[in-house]
Amino acid sequence: MEEEGARVRPSSLGLAVLSLLFTGPLHPYGMQRLIKLWGKDQVINVGQRANLYKTIARLKDGGLVTVRQSERSQQYPERTVYELTDEGRTAARDWLTEMLAAPRREFPQFPAALSFAMLLGPEAAEAALTRRADVLRERLAELEQDLERYSESLPRVTLLDDEYRRATTAAELSWIDDLRDDLRSGRLTWSKDDLEAQAGTDLTGMGLQPSD
């Protein structure tokens, strides 16, 4: 069974399922409800229950979870209750340790967009970044409020993901504000002619000739 479990690819949703089952057997609806109730849907995508079912199926095929029982009710359709296997308990700790220890290249959209920001003019880029900064400012205020509210009743260790999101949101907002200042002051600027001239120099250095 350990060899089977080792072939299951770690994922955030898979880790959530395994971690929730540490508390006891659950059916998929109960897992999704707890993730949302605890606010973990801000860092784990459970919007589509089909993805949750697929993840559970992979964990089951890999020997990390097993069916405990099926529940029937007049009010709800049949629900399958799952529980951890011994291999699943080991995998949960191994996955958690690796995810905490090893940064992963996740290819978010924002850095990808920044890498092609030169396609916009400086004014258009600054306007777009201003819109992003407004959203980040609202998000940061919400995180501050949530942390202040829940830190009074919950252990800090249960709020570490919120602390991380607050820190990364604040850092991104600070960087964007500095970048917007550079754009507005002209310390950072570019033009189509300048970029074409630079590209022409680079192409020539590579033994290629720019087109007219």
Q: Is the dihedral of CA 196, 199, 204, 210 positive or negative?
A: negative
Name the pTM for this structure: 0.82
pLDDT in tens, 86-128: 999 999 999 999 999 999 988 999 999 999 999 899 999 999 9
Residue spans per domain, the chain: 2-101, 109-195
Question: CATH classification of 2-101 is 1.10.10.10, yes or no?
Answer: yes
CA distance 20 to 185: 51
Give the CA dihedral 32, 7, 99, 151, nearest 10 degrees. 20
| Spatial CA neighbour of 137 closest among 198, 180, 104, 94 | 180
pLDDT in tens, 113-167: 999 999 899 999 999 999 999 999 999 999 999 999 999 999 999 999 999 999 9
∠ at Cα 81 (80, 87), nearest 5°?
120
